[in-house]
Chain A
Amino acid sequence: MLSMATLGELERSIMELLWATDESLSAYDLQEALADRKLASTTILTVLSRLENKGFVMRSRDARPHQYRSAATREEHMADLMHEVLGGASDRTAVLERFVGQVSPEEAETLRRLLGS
């Protein structure tokens, strides 16, 4: 049984592999790429189906074995995330307690002067 932490890190490794290529990969391709971790193919399939449920991975059932690819690029996901963090999302306080909000360069300059630094 995998711990939640290991599972999380495995999800990340698999997404990194899928993000790195334009092609679809099968569970066996992934198992091979992660050969140094000596993972069972069932483990890989479990992680893939978790990622599919979360909407990060798309599965094509046309071919055998099933082919997997990322639903969006890493950059797109990062943009989504930063959009929420920097307050572009409509309900910006909903999830985060951010360190500060953003200011314009002029405002920042005023503040710097205020601090005398």
Chain B
Amino acid sequence: MIAPIALAALAVLLAWPVPVLLARSRWPSRSPAAALVLWQAIAIAGGFSMIGALLTFGLAPFGPDPLTATVTLLMGEVDRIESWNALALCGAALLTGHLLLNLVLTVVRSERQRRRHEQLVRLLSSPLESGARLLDSPAPVAYCLPGALNTITVVSAGLIDLLDDSEMQAVIEHEKAHVTQRHDVVLVLFRAWQASLPWFPIAFRAQREVGMLVEMLADDAARRSVPDGVLARAIVLVGAGQDRPAVEPAAVEWGGEASITELSARLSRLERAPLPRPLESLVVVAAVALLAVPTVLLAVPVVAALL
């Protein structure tokens, strides 16, 4: 009975106290890459241990090894199962299906939305020599539209008016990093997690934190080409300019608190030293350990039975 209890305990830890603590701590902005790895480990290990806890509890009466237990169960001992265990097994199956289905749905929905946006961009913008597209809107915006085959970087006329060449370079390098580092893939994973568990306040929090971390990673890429001061100016100018979206005032109904936090976090970290290498490695080791625990709990009895 150790495996189901340990897995359930881990699932609870990863569903609440651990992500809350991580979202509150200040070090992630000093090492966004390591923090991003840790967030992914928490999400994956969390789902894994939730399903594993239900599965091992359901199979417990048929032996400690989940694999043999499944075979025993399927070989005609189904009528021997207690209702509690049956319930747990149904729960495990439902949860697995729910998580996978939401992942597929989120990917499909994002792709549809992306394609529609791309069609609009192609009609409303003109190509620049650099390969980016120029949107003739007075609101200063820059963003990338990541695609499997082609990625489009869009800059607006308002942005070009607002920024000088070096600031513009900072923005472009930032957007390029989103593309080359495939941040869209990381984000879609966390969006799916939030879509599957909307009653988990932490899923929303995690998505926001991860969104901020990829911005910081892209900022770090821009810092390799431009001085920190230039990047900081670009961040402030673009952030300040967007309070006047001349196109449609209703567009600014979001933002507010979250974006001021995001902006000041991105600015203040420019003055802080990155996390020392050994500490950074420690975070990655912790992430790997998180993934290893549920795997070991599930796999060890199987291996033991085989030996």
Which chain A residues have a beta carbon within 8 Å of chain B's beta carbons?
Answer: 8-9, 11-12, 15, 54, 56, 74-75, 77-88, 91-105, 107-108, 111-112, 114-115, 117
From residue A91, how far is it (CB to closest CB) to chain B in Å? Answer: 7
B contact residues, total (Cβ < 8 Å): 63
Most buried by A among B215, B233, B240: B240
Judged by DSSP, the binding face of B is helix
From residue B281, how far is it (CB to closest CB) to chain A in Å? Answer: 28
0/1 interface trace, chain B 85-126, chain A, CB 8 Å (1 if under): 000000000000000000000000110011001011111101
* Pairwise interchain contact A77-B124, C-beta atoms closer than 8 A: yes
Q: Which residue of B lies closest to A54 (CB)?
A: B119
Known contacts A78-B247, A86-B242; A99 and B141 CB within 8 A of each other: yes
Chain B residues whose C-beta falls within 8 Å of the C-beta of A92 in the assembled complex: 254
B187 beta carbon closer than 8 Å to chain A: yes
* Pairwise interchain contact B233-A115, C-beta atoms closer than 8 A: yes
* Pairwise interchain contact B243-A104, C-beta atoms closer than 8 A: yes
* Pairwise interchain contact A83-B113, C-beta atoms closer than 8 A: no
B276 beta carbon closer than 8 Å to chain A: no
Most buried by B among A15, A78, A115: A78
Q: Which residue of A lies closest to B172 (CB)?
A: A99
From residue B134, how far is it (CB to closest CB) to chain A in Å? Answer: 12
Chain A residues whose C-beta falls within 8 Å of the C-beta of B243 in the assembled complex: 102-105, 108
From residue B234, how far is it (CB to closest CB) to chain A in Å? Answer: 8
Complex Cα spacing A102 to B139, Å: 11
B145 beta carbon closer than 8 Å to chain A: yes
* Pairwise interchain contact A108-B123, C-beta atoms closer than 8 A: no
Known contacts A101-B255, A101-B263, A102-B255; A85 and B109 CB within 8 A of each other: no
From residue B100, how far is it (CB to closest CB) to chain A in Å? Answer: 19
From residue A112, how far is it (CB to closest CB) to chain B in Å? Answer: 6
* Pairwise interchain contact A95-B245, C-beta atoms closer than 8 A: no
Chain B residues whose C-beta falls within 8 Å of the C-beta of A81 in the assembled complex: 117, 120-121, 124, 135, 137
Complex Cα spacing A11 to B126, Å: 12
Chain A residues whose C-beta falls within 8 Å of the C-beta of B178 in the assembled complex: 97
Complex Cα spacing A75 to B123, Å: 12
Give the 8 A-B residue pairs with the shortest CB-CB distance, closest first: A101-B259, A108-B240, A102-B242, A88-B251, A86-B251, A82-B247, A87-B254, A99-B142
Chain A residues whose C-beta falls within 8 Å of the C-beta of B232 in the assembled complex: 115
B31 beta carbon closer than 8 Å to chain A: no
> Which of A80, A87, A94, A101 meets B191, CB within 8 Å?
A94
B184 beta carbon closer than 8 Å to chain A: yes
Chain A residues whose C-beta falls within 8 Å of the C-beta of B146 in the assembled complex: 97
Complex Cα spacing A85 to B251, Å: 9
Complex Cα spacing A104 to B243, Å: 6
What are 18 A-to-B residue pairs whose CB atoms are below 8 Å? A15-B123, A81-B117, A81-B137, A83-B250, A86-B245, A87-B255, A88-B250, A88-B252, A91-B113, A97-B183, A99-B141, A99-B238, A101-B263, A102-B239, A102-B245, A104-B260, A105-B240, A111-B236
Known contacts A97-B144, A103-B240; A114 and B120 CB within 8 A of each other: no
Complex Cα spacing A66 to B123, Å: 22
* Pairwise interchain contact B242-A100, C-beta atoms closer than 8 A: yes
Chain B residues whose C-beta falls within 8 Å of the C-beta of A101 in the assembled complex: 239, 242, 254-255, 258-259, 262-263
Q: Which residue of A lies closest to B146 (CB)?
A: A97
Complex Cα spacing A105 to B266, Å: 18
Chain B residues whose C-beta falls within 8 Å of the C-beta of A54 in the assembled complex: 119
B165 beta carbon closer than 8 Å to chain A: no
* Pairwise interchain contact A95-B113, C-beta atoms closer than 8 A: yes
> For chain B residues 252-281, which have a beta carbon within 8 Å of chain A?
252-256, 258-260, 262-264, 266-267
* Pairwise interchain contact B267-A8, C-beta atoms closer than 8 A: no
Complex Cα spacing A78 to B235, Å: 24
* Pairwise interchain contact A107-B242, C-beta atoms closer than 8 A: no
Extra pairs beyond A54-B119, A88-B252, A103-B255 (12, CB < 8 Å): A74-B124, A77-B120, A78-B137, A81-B137, A88-B251, A94-B191, A99-B235, A100-B239, A102-B242, A103-B263, A107-B263, A111-B239
